[in-house]
Structure formats: structure tokens, C-alpha cells
Amino acid sequence: MPAKNILRVKNEGVILHVYNEGIEKKEIFPDEEDRNTFVKYLSEYLSPASEETTKKAFFVNGRTYLGKIRMPKNYYKKVALLCYCIKPKSFNLIVEQLSANSVERFVRSLCTRYSMYFNKKYARTGTLFRGPYKSIQINNSSDLYLLSRYLNSIDINHPKNSLAEYIGEKTTPWISTQKILNSISEDIQKAYAQYAFDIKQGFSNLEKERLKIIAPAENEIDSRNHSEETKNTNSEVCPADNSADIEVNSRSINTWSQNLRNNNRINIPIVRRTPELFFATIAFMVLFGIGMQNIRAQEYQQSTKNKIIDKEIIQINQNDAKHLSPTPSERDKIEKLAETANIAQNPTEEVLAANLTEKDKNSDSEITSNHHFHLNQNIYNQQNSAKKTVVLKSDEENPIIYIYKYPSTDSEVIGIAVAGDRYGYISTIGQWQEIKFNITTIGFVPVHNTEIEESDPNLN
């Protein structure tokens, strides 16, 4: 994700809010000496450069040399500092760029110099700041005034900012307060008084929302005010002032700070969360149990429905097959024929006749003639079975085809087939097809579930 607020403006006359924080949000100004060193570097960069004309003696390897001390870079009349604030983990500056591209060089030089000091003091290496410095352009006087008030009110009981310059406590040559104070009043004393009053009043909700844009790294104003309540309110901020329009001393500043905290304090009742969590857990368990019961009920209903459907399908199949069942007289004939059909795989008429008793021959001439006709037909069909194939087909409602031991739905089911299965053709008995179910077994299927494919015997 690209870094935010890394605006680099080269034009003259622009006002920028420049800020940065320590890497991994660590402290970069742990003690007062560090904060004073940073302020010292600001002073050296923004004050008029001193002319060192007197040479000083240097001793190197036992020899004496005369030379001038190398002075740090200077940005006097190139960059104007309007306001600053130093906190343990970050710094904020409001600067005006008086010459092109001067702010970028100024901030880089300042951060590099302080990083060298910090690493040497604390015996560390590596970068000190969290990436390049951030900057936001301030385009109007109202935003400029609001941002200065905000930076000068941070940590009001332990300040390291430019508040004293804006309430008339002291004058610092390298801090330019005229641009902001003149926007309040041309009378400097009235400007001091109004600025101090506005600091005491704090910030409205509209101003807080605006600060989220021009001071995004410092936008939790309410949290900051809440944390200030734990700090020592008896520390002196600045000595007394003899101005008749405003009394600025440590007691009055502390009073303003107390009023600011009281005005912005939000009283939130303390609510115990344990009962809520308990009841929420109970409610979740109850709802979970109800949901599981509903799931089980749906599964049971679905299984019951499937069983009913299966029973209906079987009943329909049985009813359909019963329409194909022979009459009782035909059934007796079929059973006798089935018993004698297994005498031999290729029996002759003489063998078949020898197996018939005299009683069978004389009891029922019609059965005997039919029996001989069936056997002859069976022999003929077995001899020509290689020329015909039974292809099974199923009903739309029931894809399963049952293969029975005898041509009756009341007989034993010896197998189950599906549409497309192929078997050797033996014979047709009424509404039943006699097929070779396997090498040693003969079965029967309804005619309406079969198709006969014939092949030309002359091709063999």
C-alpha cells in the first residue's frame, strides 16, 4: 500500500504541517535532554548563521592546526517555523516555505542530524523514524489557527511546544507567531488573550472532524484529553505575566487545563459484561440445539418419504407385472414345462418322450401336445440363440428390471438388471421372454421390458 501524506511541494509561500514518528511507534524523545537537543537543532537551522572569523587550534597526531569550525546547514529566511510540538514518540511542525524546495532539505537534514545523535547516545544502529516524513498543505487561515491551537494544547501540563510564544510568555526569534496572531487581532495583547481563551475552550465536534484531515496522526482528541487526567496537574507551565488583559501563570494554565478536561469529559457508565456474556452463551446454546433438532427432523422426514416412495414404486412394479401373470391353468402348464425344460441342454424328441410317464401322456392330451410343442420350440430356439439377443429396456417411472426364476411375479427373483443389459434369447412364453441369465441359469422377464435384436445367420 502506498504511503499517505508524503506531499512534497516546491513552490514558495506554501504552509505545511510536517510530522513523523518513531519506527515501530517507539519513543524517539525519551527524556528532556533529547527534546532539548531537537529544539536546539531547530534553533541552529532557523537562526541567522554566525560568522566564525577566529581560527581555533586543533591537535591531530601531536601536531597543531588552525582552522574554522564547520557550521551546520542554515535555513534562515528559507524556512519559517510557525509552531512546533514534541512528544515522546513523534514531532509536529508547522512551517512556511520561503524559498523553493527548502522545506524538504530542511526536514531531511534535521531528521538525519537527530538520528545520528540518538544512535550515538543510545548505542543503536538503523533508522530511527517510521519512513519518510509526512506533510499536509494548509490552505486557509482557519485551518492554520485550528492546527496551531491543537499542537500547542497537547500535553499542556508538560509542554514542549510553542504555547509560551502564543500567550505572550516569551519571545523566540526563530518562531514566527505574527501570521497566526495577526489573524486574531492587530492588538498583540488581545491576540494573546483570545488565543489563551480558545485554548481553554477546547474543540468543538466540527473542529475535531476537521483535525482528522489536517492532523491525521493526532486525531484522537477525546482519548488524549482522557489520558491527560492521569497526569500531574500541579506542574508549573510558565512564569507569571504582568499584562493587564490576561494573567498567564502556572495556576491559570492549570485551571484552563482542568476546565478543558471537565468540558470534554464524557461520562460513560461502567457496565459489567459478565452477565451479558453468560446470557448470550445460553441463548446461543439454545438456538444451536433447536437448529440441530430441526435438522434431525428434516432428515427423518426425508428418509420416511424416501421409504414410502420406494414402497409405492415396488407396488406399482408388482401391479404392472401381475397384469402379465398367466391364469391358474396356464400356470400349471408353465410349471410342468419348466420342470421338464431342464432335462438336457439339447434333448431329442425320443429322450423327451421316454421321460414322460404313461399317465402324463394319457391324462391331458392338450397339455401333452403343448408340452411337445414347447420342447420342440425350445430346442429350435436354443439352436438359434446365437442369432437373437434380448436387449432390456426400462419404464420411465422405474429404471430397475427384475429377472424371475419362473414366468410369474410370484416366483423367486434371481437377478436385477437395468436398461441396456443384453442376454441370450431362448423363447417367448405369453407375455414373458425366456433368457439366458448366465451360463447355467435361465430366467424370465416381461416382454414389454425387452427388445429383440436379430443377426443374419448367413454371416457366420
Q: Is the same domain home to 317 and 336?
A: no
**Residues 84-104 pLDDT 10s:** 999 999 999 999 999 999 999
Q: Is the same domain home to 39 and 136?
A: yes
Question: Is position 401 within any domain?
Answer: yes
Q: Is the same domain home to 299 and 344?
A: no
Specify the number of domains making up the chain.
3
Angstrom distances, CA of residue 29 to CA of 21, 69, 221, 281, 306: 10, 28, 21, 47, 77
The mean pLDDT value for 409-418 works out to 89
Question: Is position 391 within any domain?
Answer: yes
Q: Is the same domain home to 295 and 184?
A: no
Q: Is the same domain home to 100 and 154?
A: yes
Cell match 431362448: residue?
426
Question: Is position 343 within any domain?
Answer: yes
Mean pLDDT in the chain? 76
Task: Identify the pLDDT of residue 57.
Answer: 75
**Residues 231-246 pLDDT 10s:** 443 333 333 333 333 3
157 or 401, which is more confident:
401
Q: Is the same domain home to 188 and 281?
A: no
Cβ(6)–Cβ(137) under 8 Å? no
Question: Is position 49 within any domain?
Answer: yes
Task: Identify the pLDDT of residue 207.
Answer: 93
Question: Is position 405 within any domain?
Answer: yes
* Whether the predicted pLDDT of 156 surpasses 70: no
Task: Please name the residues in contact with 303: beta carbons below 8 A apart, sequence gap of 6 or more.
Answer: none
In percent, the amount of the chain with pLDDT more than 70 equals 65
The mean pLDDT value for 370-397 works out to 60
Of 188, 261, 275, 254, the closest CA to residue 226 belongs to 261
Domain containing 296: what range? 271-322
* Whether the predicted pLDDT of 397 surpasses 90: no
- Least confident stretch, 103-117, 260-274, 303-317: 260-274
Q: Is the same domain home to 72 and 188?
A: yes
Of 204, 193, 133, the closest CA to residue 166 belongs to 193
Distance between CA atoms of residues 345 and 383, nearest Å: 10
The mean pLDDT value for 344-365 works out to 44
Task: Please name the residues in contact with 141: beta carbons below 8 A apart, sequence gap of 6 or more.
Answer: 183
Last residue of a domain, one of 287, 322, 357: 322
Last residue of a domain, one of 263, 289, 322: 322
Q: Is the same domain home to 372 and 282?
A: no
pLDDT band at residue 314 under the 50/70/90 scheme: low
Q: Is the same domain home to 310 and 338?
A: no
Of 18, 31, 23, 20, the closest CA to residue 158 belongs to 31
Task: Identify the pLDDT of residue 364.
Answer: 44
* Helices of type H across 215-327: 221-228, 250-264, 274-322
60 or 115, which is more confident:
115
Task: Identify the pLDDT of residue 218.
Answer: 62
Question: Is position 225 within any domain?
Answer: no
Cell match 436385477: residue?
416
Q: How many CA atoms lie within 13 A of 285 on its CB side?
A: 6
Last residue of a domain, one of 322, 347, 382: 322
Q: Is the same domain home to 38 and 181?
A: yes
Cβ(324)–Cβ(315) under 8 Å? no
Q: Is the same domain home to 34 and 174?
A: yes
At 392 the three-state DSSP class reads strand
* Whether the predicted pLDDT of 346 surpasses 70: no
Helices 205-214/221-228 angle, 10° precision: 110
Of 167, 151, 161, 155, the closest CA to residue 252 belongs to 167
- What is the identity of the amino acid at 110? L
φ, ψ of residue 8 to 5 degrees: the values are: -125, 105
Q: Is the same domain home to 304 and 381?
A: no
Question: Is position 432 within any domain?
Answer: yes
* Whether the predicted pLDDT of 105 surpasses 90: yes
CATH code at position 102: 3.30.70.1290
Cell match 581560527: residue?
55
Cell match 477546547: residue?
202
Helices 365-383/328-340 angle, 10° precision: 50
Of 64, 216, 253, the closest CA to residue 134 belongs to 216
Distance between CA atoms of residues 34 and 338, nearest Å: 114
387 or 36, which is more confident:
36
- Least confident stretch, 258-267, 277-286, 439-448: 258-267
CATH code at position 454: 2.30.30.40
Of 459, 364, 383, the closest CA to residue 424 belongs to 383
Question: Is position 244 within any domain?
Answer: no
Task: Identify the pLDDT of residue 333.
Answer: 55
**Residues 172-196 pLDDT 10s:** 999 999 999 999 999 999 999 999 9
